[in-house]
A and B are shown apart, each in its own frame.
Chain A
């Protein structure tokens, strides 16, 4: 009987302590401008900044010059049609290549389209003719805009002129000659192949993890600076004498704050900028739960190694660039070397980004992201244990120091 009451007392006291620590930690967060910056200002402002930067999605009116050695009706018609495409603007027709190259040197244009002198003659004689396209490689998107527009125009012009030159009995047989096997290409889920729709969802997930690491790391570093003997736990406070209650109490306070942050970052920002978001909100919420848990416990584990409040920024900020690439959103995961791919499994952002963009942008359900979902729960469990070990070690250390 005595044992049973004892246990009940412990549980009751434990729960009370969890809420005590929860409240203390919330106070700590709001007292510290540094933490407030990372928990609120950055998640608020960063998505807006990135959305603004990439808002145009694709390049319009990339500047091009033309060198027209043919100077014929057909070459002028070609130029006119390229200019009419939304992606390319022909800024000048140059006399020769030297002049065109100078335009590129002066950044007045980023691409050159050059017609050979026999361009029109060849087409009229039914011979294949070759035009040259030169693109400045400061951005692949210029190259893409020039190439796609020129290809499109060459196709439409060919169709019209070849059929004019070889009048056939019926329209149907005409088309067969030029285009025996038509094809269609569809970009699914991000139909205009926009840059913001591709990159921003991944950045949003990364912002959540990185701000948690920086904020919680800062709280940890501050505690280490302030507490007696530089330990993570204020041992003078009687409520802080149990590993589980500290880890649960603190993580609960971060979770509550980040539910609010997530509503802004994941639900409101994509709507403001009308990014593709075809994922089921319930699925997204279910998926974010283990992601948040894993990120919080991961951050709490790392905070154990922070000896001063500034160190997280010096140590973790640069990793954001690496984590974005290791997540496999821009560089396909199949092409990531084995070593880095395995290392990537240590970070919640890797399955977090993969799963989120597929739910959010490609409309996957939990079934299709089960691999990532399971990984996140495993990470959450693993980092929960490691966070407990870190705090256990810190409690023992501070108790020992106290004696």
Chain B
């Protein structure tokens, strides 16, 4: 296989690599299609920020004006929609097992009269913990409406006793908690998840492409020719080979930032520079980890398996859904080995909270320190490139 006239140096290798990636559908898939599909999917999936109109079953055994008012108020919440009315809890539970509803709101018989006569009727609501997000959101709405129901009854009886609204509220709910969700006051799930999922997919694709483009040289028996173009120097050869991908993945990374902070106007307290730097560092750190992977397991399929598994575990161990502090201490230490973890911490400090750059310097340095990895494995990789035979 020859690519034009034999030339030497980093530039020539880069040109050779660009020709390779343009002629192979697999590269185009990983570099263009996969990132585009992911961005379009996740941004459109969570375009409303919060899921709306989650179905709830109502069991209203009271069926008086009081209970009907309560039901109307519950239905008016944006997250909640009463889709079914049942006569028993069992029917409602079956609807829940069918996946038709995520919550059940239960109003006991005689609710209206008991409430005003001080008999303390109990409202009950049930959520399906199998669906955590839906259950949490419905819990919030159904709890609010239950508290309001108590307040309205309390107001009625209080006013009847001739008390002022202030007095009554001081008794009904002496302590109010005013919550401030810092940086994401809307509790927007798209902000919460996509700021880490999309860079996570980028990291996964970088691992795979880096391992593939190096490993395939062994498979096709072109590794020697490639190294020769770099005057036998692995550093130069790798630099020339990976430079085109650094450029492409950095552009993709910047476009992800543009979609998140520009198009969607997600919180970007720090301004653009810290985040663009972070994503560029994420790209080169992931490439370095990719080299390390194929260096340790210089068989294409094993290297790729390593990349796949490591890349997929990142999504969980980074701690954007379940926090790292809640994990076993071994895992807390292991989390440091994932570039995405450090990117995530930078994002929290910079874009979400707008903290001083001082607090993130450690994480930027962590990302840069991944660049040491290729040097640790260089010898092994070069040996594999020169002497290993591809066994299918």
Contacts and interface: CB of A to CB of B under 8 A. Distances in A.
Interface of A: 33-34, 37-38, 42, 46, 49-50, 52-56, 58-60, 62, 78, 104-106, 122-123, 125-144, 147, 150-151, 154, 157-158, 161-162, 166, 173, 175-195, 197-199, 214, 218, 222, 225-226, 308-311, 313-315, 317-318, 320-322, 325, 329-337, 339-340, 354, 357-358, 361-365, 368-369, 371
Contact of B302 (A33, A127, A150): A33
Contacts of B364: none
Contact of A188 (B52, B127, B133, B356): B127
B125 A129 contact: no
Nearest to B324: A139
Contacts of B147: 183
Nearest to B154: A180
Contacts of B42: 322, 325
B9 interface: no
A387 to B, nearest CB: 22
Contacts of A125: 170
B298 to A, nearest CB: 14
Nearest to B81: A334
Given A181-B149, A185-B127, A195-B132, 10 more contacts: A52-B328, A60-B326, A132-B179, A134-B182, A151-B177, A173-B118, A185-B124, A185-B125, A364-B98, A369-B99
Contact of B322 (A126, A139, A178): A139
Interface string B192-216: 1000010011001100110010011
Interface in B317-367: 317, 319-323, 325-328, 331, 348-349, 352-353, 355-356, 359
B176 interface: yes
B308 interface: yes
Contact of A53 (B154, B327, B392): B327
B126 interface: yes
Contact of B153 (A122, A180, A222, A310): A180
Contact of B201 (A55, A321, A335): A321
Residue in B26, B55, B174, B355 whose Cβ sees the most chain A Cβ within 10 Å: B174
B128 interface: yes
Contacts, number: 335
Contact of B323 (A106, A142, A162): A142
Nearest to A336: B45
Given A139-B323, A321-B197, A183 B146 contact: yes
Given A310-B300, A362-B97, A368-B94, A52 B38 contact: no
Contacts of A191: 129
Contacts of A309: 301, 392
B45 A135 contact: no
Contact of B169 (A128, A133, A331): A128
B301 A317 contact: no
Contacts of B122: 181-184
A54 B182 CA distance: 25
B178 A54 contact: no
Contact of A130 (B30, B120, B176, B301): B176
Given A128-B170, A161-B174, A186-B126, A331 B45 contact: yes
A185 B120 contact: no
Contacts of B130: 189-190, 198, 357-358, 361-362
**Closest 3 A/B residue pairs (Cβ):** A190-B129, A335-B51, A34-B301
A177 B180 CA distance: 29
A180 to B, nearest CB: 4
B55 to A, nearest CB: 6
17 contacts: A104-B182, A136-B182, A137-B183, A137-B184, A138-B323, A140-B192, A161-B174, A162-B171, A176-B157, A188-B93, A310-B215, A313-B301, A318-B205, A322-B42, A332-B133, A337-B47, A358-B97
Interface in B127-173: 127-136, 139, 142-143, 146-147, 149-150, 153-154, 157, 166-167, 169-173
Contacts of A175: 120
B227 interface: no
A158 B173 contact: yes
